[in-house]
Amino acid sequence: MNVNNTEIERKFLVDRLPEDLDKCECRSIRQGYISTDPTIRLRQCDDEYILTVKGAAHNNGLDRTEFELSLTEAQFLKLWEKTETGAIVKKRYLVPLENGLTAELDIYEEKLAGFMNVEVEFSSLKQAVLFDAPNWFGAEVTEDRRYSNASLVKYGIPVKK
């Protein structure tokens, strides 16, 4: 898989867990960063291994270009030696929403234990702007770079303003 696309998403904190979370698909994720500026990320998602390069954010943080490249486990492990950050470990739950959307609910483990956030990806900027968040979503943090995974791994959980 070589994918070069524009990612359009909004990110929120989590006020409470959604109902029936135990019925949602769950993935185990470990990720680290070869570089946080520019963003070059390694991610293991279950038994998939991916190298991602992300471009600068646009439209108030709503969209950015990204390039993804599938790796073998051996390639991943060799590149993992080059990471400049510790690992982020989390469970990602895929929660179905209205209009065919999916909430990606991340529940962090290890040094970020207790922290949760949720992202929703969209097919257009218009869809992103018109999105009405479910009542279990908390404050929106799309524009707050302190809540990016690259920042979380370097600086920990932000103190709320």
* Residue 100 backbone zone (phi > 0: left; psi -120 to 50: alpha; other: beta): left
* Closest residue by Cα to residue 51 from 41, 61, 38, 36: 41
Q: pLDDT averaged over the chain?
A: 92
Q: For residue range 44-98, what is the model confidence (pLDDT) as tens digits?
A: 999 999 999 987 766 665 667 889 999 999 999 999 999 988 899 999 999 999 9
Domain ranges of the chain: 2-155
pTM of the model: 0.90
User: Which residues participate in catalysis according to the annotation?
Assistant: 33
Q: Are 25 and 94 in contact (CB under 8 A)?
A: yes
**Residue 3's pLDDT is what?**
58
**Residues pairing with 16 in the sheet:** none
Higher pLDDT, 16 or 65: 16
> CATH number of the domain at 2-155, please?
2.40.320.10
